[in-house]
Structure 1
Amino acid sequence: MTSLADLPLRPDLVGRTAYGAPMLHVPVTLNTNENTHPVPDAVRADIVARVADALGTVNRYPDREFTELREALAAYLGHDLAPEQVWAANGSNEVLQHVFQAFGGPGRTLLTFPPTYSMYPNYAATSFTAVAEGRRDERFELSAETVVAEIRRTRPDVVVIAAPNNPTGTPVALDVLEAAYDAFDGVLVVDEAYAEFMPAEAPSALTLLPGRPRLAVARTMSKAFAFAGARLGYLAADPAFVDALRLVRLPYHLSAITQAAALGALAHAPEMMRMVEDIRQQRDRMAEGLRSLGYDVAPSWTNFLLFSGVDDPAALWRGLLERGVLVRDLAIPGALRVSAGTAAETDAFLDAMRALTPIGAAR
């Protein structure tokens, strides 16, 4: 059988492994930060009707500027954004790939702050962008002083900051992002994939866009909108920034079906956001339960928790799996990550943790 070693693979890809979280069929899947709440029936019916209409013209190419969708996304985001400030693609992964294709490349460097979303270095690798890693402060936090010092040390062309951070859930203050932008002449991307799970009073990086043409704020419909399988991500930025992404996108990259489905979900945004409040409550239930067992739970503005104080994460991960609960081992010493789910999933996770805490040896 042919293997990768038998193929003329690009040299810089030799030895690399593909991104992927375990996809195991278990009763309680809490490892990939999905919204475990299904799309409500009324919303699903509207989406199906819109997709059916789109199929009537699927013999023609879709609107390559996805005009109606950009208008709907701008309206959803608010902050006086215009449609020409919005870009979308098949998941925020493709959106960020476009950013790296446009602003990264040979001779350019990405600065990232691990532990953070593991795909950032992948975007860099596929665009021949070098990677520099910056340090974090205690408890995975980022201060303006630390970020500026790391930018001056590494002299990057692209900086990506997840706010709040994945996999730790850590919030990032706006003054940190302002300081980062002012510290260099490259592109700053603020990844707000989990923005809807932040406290209602917490300001978004969208407030920083005016007067900052090198800033982009990325979002996704995968989490709050329960749209992980539909693949729709987007960003907001200066119109010139969006123009740059047009240079690297593939023709007609957003299908008519994807556009129709996303428009249907956005038309029901208030109903979809009611799921978010329930997920926040389950997240907080999980945090309280884990703390009562002696684990250290990092502050989270997301739909997941990183909990530490685990002597043997691999053993605890296996024990949970044997009880039908799948969480994520990210190789962070002494820690595991769990996504917030439904009330029943929270019960199952906490029951399993109570049974397994002697294995985890929480302290």
Structure 2
Amino acid sequence: MTSLSDLPIRDDLRGRTPYGAPQKVVPVALNVNENTHPVPEDVAADIVARVAVAVTGVNRYPDREFTELREAFARYLGHGLTAEQVWAANGSNEVLQHILQAFGGPGRSLLGFAPTYSMYPLLASGTGTGWIAAGRDAEFELSPETAAAAVREHDPDIVILCSPNNPTGTPLSLDTVEAVYAAARGIVIVDEAYAEFMPEGEPSALTLLPGRERLLVSRTMSKAFAFAGARVGYLAADPAVVDALRLVRLPYHLSAITQAAALGALAHSDEMLAMVGEIRAQRDRLVVELAELGYLPHCSGSNFVLFGGVDDPHAVFEALLERGVLIRDVGIPHHLRVTAGTETETTAFLEALRALGRPSGAVPAGAQSVSSQS
């Protein structure tokens, strides 16, 4: 049988492995930061009705500019945004890929701050863009001074900031975004995949868009909207940036069915986001109860919690899996990550972890590495 090494793939792809989190059928899956709450029945019914209408016209290509969807995203985001400032694609990963195709490429570089989302270096590799992993401050924080210094040192073509950061959950201040933008000569992306889970009133990088034509703010419907299976991501930026992304997108890249489903979800945004408060409550519960169990949970502004103090992450991961609970080993020494699920799911995880006994407490509280798992 032919192996990958036998094929004439690009030299820079040899030896690499594709993105992939464990996919297992278990009673409690809390490993990939999905919103584990189902779409409300009435919303699902409306989405199905809209998709049914779209299906009757799938003999024709969809609206290439997905105008109605861009208008809906602009209304949802607010901040005076217009459809001309919005772009969308099949998940925020494709949005980021479009950005790298337009502004990255051979001879250009992307700077991120590790540990961070593992798709960043993979997207860079796939587009021939050099990946630069800069470090963070203690407890995975990223100060304006640290971030700006890294930008000045490496002089990248693109900088990406994950806010809140994945896999650590660390919030990012707008001061850091402003400092990075001032230090950078190229594109600055703020990936706000988990923005809806930040505390009420916490400002978004969307507030910084006016007058900053090189600033892009990426979002997704996968998390807060419980729409991971629909694959819809979007961004807000200067209209000229949107024009640049048109140059690299595939024709009719958003299907009529995808557009119809996303419009249905956005039409019920209040109901879809009503579960966010419960998820925040379960996240905060995880922080409290993990500490009571002897672990070292990190501050999180997302829908998951990274916790340290784990004697043997692989052993704990496997022991939980045997009990029907799937979480994530993100490659950071003595750490594991768990998604905040429903109250029942969170309880199941905590009870399974409690059954394993308390950690020894022999591992260092600040143990971390530059691994960039998601």
TM-score range, shorter chain: over 0.9
Query: What count of residue pairs does the alignment treat as equivalent?
Result: 362
- The residue matched to 1:229 in structure 2 has which SS? helix
The amino acid that maps onto 1:134 is: A
* Deviation by residue 1:119-157 (Cα, 9 ceiling, x = unmatched): 000111111111111110010000000011101111100
Contact 2:102/2:248 (CA < 8 Å) preserved in 1? yes
Sequence identity (%): 68
CA distance in 1, matches of 2:268, 2:301: 23
> What is the TM-score of this pair, normalised by structure 1?
0.99
Aligned-pair CA distance for 1:8: 1.2
Aligned-pair CA distance for 1:357: 3.0
CA distance in 1, matches of 2:229, 2:262: 11
Aligned-pair CA distance for 1:284: 1.1
- The residue matched to 2:8 in structure 1 has which SS? coil
Contact 2:117/2:162 (CA < 8 Å) preserved in 1? yes
CA distance in 1, matches of 2:360, 2:314: 13
Q: Does 1:14 pair with 2:10?
A: no
Aligned-pair CA distance for 1:361: 2.9
CA distance in 1, matches of 2:178, 2:331: 31
In structure 1, what is the equivalent of residue 311 of structure 2? Answer: 311
List alignment gaps of at least 5 residues for structure 2: 363-374
CA distance in 2, matches of 1:242, 1:140: 32
* Deviation by residue 1:250-300 (Cα, 9 ceiling, x = unmatched): 000000000000000000000011111111111111111101011111110
Aligned-pair CA distance for 1:201: 1.2
* Deviation by residue 1:92-132 (Cα, 9 ceiling, x = unmatched): 00000000000001111111101000000011111111111
Contact 2:308/2:334 (CA < 8 Å) preserved in 1? yes
Q: Does 1:217 pair with 2:211?
A: no
Q: Does 1:361 pair with 2:360?
A: yes
* Counterparts of residues 256-271 of structure 1 (less than 5 Å): 256-271=256-271
In structure 1, what is the equivalent of residue 372 of structure 2? Answer: none
Contact 1:293/1:362 (CA < 8 Å) preserved in 2? no
CA distance in 2, matches of 1:19, 1:210: 35
In structure 1, what is the equivalent of residue 4 of structure 2? Answer: 4
Contact 2:108/2:130 (CA < 8 Å) preserved in 1? yes
CA distance in 2, matches of 1:190, 1:149: 18
CA distance in 1, matches of 2:156, 2:5: 33
* Cα RMSD for the two superposed structures: 0.8
The amino acid that maps onto 1:102 is: A
CA distance in 1, matches of 2:334, 2:253: 41
* Counterparts of residues 1-363 of structure 1 (less than 5 Å): 1-358=1-358, 360-362=359-361
* Deviation by residue 1:144-184 (Cα, 9 ceiling, x = unmatched): 00011101111100000001100000000001000100102
CA distance in 2, matches of 1:51, 1:361: 53
Contact 2:47/2:264 (CA < 8 Å) preserved in 1? yes
Contact 1:50/1:260 (CA < 8 Å) preserved in 2? yes
CA distance in 2, matches of 1:334, 1:221: 31
- The residue matched to 1:250 in structure 2 has which SS? coil
List alignment gaps of at least 5 residues for structure 1: none
